[in-house]
Structure 1
Amino acid sequence: MVVALVVGCCYLTTTVISFTGAWATLNREPTNAELQRAANKEVARRWQAWPARRIFPDRVPYAPLEGHSEYASRTGIVPDTGCDQGVDPEIAATLARHGCKAVLRATYVDQLEGVAVTVGVVAFADPFRADRAYRELPGSKGPDGSGSVRPALRAAPFPGTASARFTDEARQDRTVDRGGPYVVLTTSGHTDGRPAAAIKKARPGKPFALSPQVGHAIARALSAKRIPDCSRPEWQC
């Protein structure tokens, strides 16, 4: 009986210690490393969790000239998010090799509605895969008289808008940017739909200067981390 009582007391003590440790673990403040992991996961889910209009705002500021600011206006958002449908096959192979989850696309026009730019957000599982894909993708390319820019993000025209004539044949410029687990591609051209092959020489100035600016603004907003604030109701710590 004495042995049984001793064993019972030992089990009771062990149980109390276990419950105390579990309670302390569940009620302690999260560590900085845990907060960072939670922030990274929240960023990686934004392509699914955020409304499309938050990823692609109605208007995005850009600066065509130094000291002068204008706004690019969104003409539409593509409902299809397939990795193969959003880009040329050469780029699709690179994206698939690194685990592309989706390609989100929307089209903007500059303030004068003379230039259209399609922006593509490519989602990956983490920043490391995004960076590897980014390094393998073709870089920026401007109008050089060699015909349509390829391979590139596919243009997304929207009937009844200023971008209605912006097709793949009208692509004259491409850029690539990265933010966190996202690679942001752009392709741009004139809204009148003139084929890039018809451009025999480079135009003066920078007619597609808004493209990298719009792409960068979207990449920056989408990848900006928010550290969880356990005192606020929207966070569960």
Structure 2
Amino acid sequence: MPHTIPGRNAAPEEGITETTTRLRPIPAEVPAKPPTSAGPLPGAGRPFVTFARPEVYDEDTARLRPVGARTRPRVVAVVACVVLGLGLIGGAATGSWLTGDSAGADGARGAFTAAGSLWHSVPVDQLFPPTVQGQGAGPGGADRTWTRIAVAPDSGCANAFDPLLRKALAPVGCLRLLRATYTDATRSHVTTVGLLFTKADAAAMTSLKTRFQQEGLERRTDLMPRPYAVENTVAAGFGNAQRASWTVSVLTDAPVVVYAVSGFADARAVTDPQPAEDAMESGATTAPAQAGLGHEAQGLADRIERSLRKTVVSATEKPS
């Protein structure tokens, strides 16, 4: 049952603080020595060549090819081309190795793996900043500012989702769920944003994303995420009946599902919740659309996702 809304002058409850160590930078690999240059070219003296016949034939054309005067320049030219080619290939391979370009696939796999461990290796303030700026995130490109009012303890997914959404997410598993609730500058809207860290590999995440897109699962009202309500805050009455707009994003470059759900801070029930994508369309007339709650959910989810990606990059980049 929703809780009674506290007074507007009540100070927001502080979020739960995590004391964790930051990710350690990955040591750079020691580059191997580049291949040594090829040996000297053949001697300057004219080579002594003998053949069984005074003339030889090209098999393709059956034309006579003279032997003698032009043999040495051609041999020298061929050897020079081989040496130059090997040098260029060796240099390019060494340069690519040193810069990491040849390990693009390995780098992507490393970033994917690193992202899966962020829930316990990065401070909560880095995943859910106390204040999030949303330049141009509101209706008509208006700026938004969201202030964190509560962070839920990290948990599993047993009671965090409605049954159908939990079933839809089951193929990727639930490693850990992190959630935080924010309010806008006017304290009239509340939004819960979540990071579901899965147990899946990249192929499973891609499969889930494809299913969500093809079946339109992110638009179904029976698959809305649940909010995180907190007593003695403006989100005290933010229950399931107050869900107004939402978004769900399945990432493929990280084992993470990012979602957000928004509602009114006055605990009013919403009878026609609308996906953020629809609520943000020009001319939408539903209550969530008119109040800008689609922008609240989508804007905050986008920025938390961007912050997550930056954290992954920082965790995997090689030191200079």
Give the TM-score normalised by the residue count of structure 2. Answer: 0.55
Q: Residue in 2 aligned with 1:139? A: 218
Q: Any conservation in 1 of the 2:238–2:263 contact (CA below 8 Å)?
A: yes
The question of 1:172 aligning with 2:244 is answered: yes
2:208 is aligned with what amino acid? A
Q: Residue in 2 aligned with 1:207? A: 292
Which of 199, 205, 219 is matched with 1:130 structurally? 205
Paired residues, number: 198
Aligned-pair Cα RMSD in Å: 2.6
Which of 206, 216, 223 is matched with 2:309 structurally? 223
Correspondence list, 1:47-196, <5 A: 47-62=119-134, 63-124=137-198, 125-137=200-212, 138-140=217-219, 149-179=221-251, 180-196=254-270
Q: Any conservation in 2 of the 1:127–1:182 contact (CA below 8 Å)?
A: no
Q: Any conservation in 2 of the 1:87–1:153 contact (CA below 8 Å)?
A: yes
Q: Please state how far the C-alpha of 1:107 moved relative to its aligned partner.
A: 0.8
Instruction: Extract unaligned runs of 5+ from structure 1.
Output: 1-25, 142-148, 232-237
Q: Any conservation in 2 of the 1:98–1:129 contact (CA below 8 Å)?
A: yes
Give the TM-score normalised by the residue count of structure 1. Answer: 0.73
Decide whether aligned partners of structure 1 residues 94 and 80 sit closer, same or farther in structure 2, where only a CA change above 3 A counts.
same
Q: Mean Cα displacement is larger for which, 31-40 or 51-60? A: 31-40
1:128 is aligned with what amino acid? A
Provide the C-alpha distance between the structure 1 equivalents of 2:201 and 2:124, rounded to a whole number of angstroms.
Answer: 20
Q: Please state how far the C-alpha of 1:67 moved relative to its aligned partner.
A: 4.5
Of structures 1 and 2, the larger Rg is shown by: 2
2:218 is aligned with what amino acid? G
Percent of aligned pairs sharing the same letter: 25
Normalized per residue, which structure has more strand? 1
Decide whether aligned partners of structure 1 residues 93 and 65 sit closer, same or farther in structure 2, where only a CA change above 3 A counts.
closer
Provide the C-alpha distance between the structure 2 equivalents of 1:162 and 1:66, rounded to a whole number of angstroms.
Answer: 26
Q: Please state how far the C-alpha of 1:206 moved relative to its aligned partner.
A: 4.9
Residues 70-99 of structure 1, C-alpha deviations (whole Å, 9 max, x = no match):
201111111142122221111112222222
Q: Residue in 1 aligned with 2:271? A: 197
Q: Please state how far the C-alpha of 1:50 moved relative to its aligned partner.
A: 1.2
Q: Residue in 2 aligned with 1:11? A: none
2:160 is aligned with what amino acid? G
Q: Any conservation in 1 of the 2:128–2:180 contact (CA below 8 Å)?
A: yes
Q: Please state how far the C-alpha of 1:130 moved relative to its aligned partner.
A: 2.8
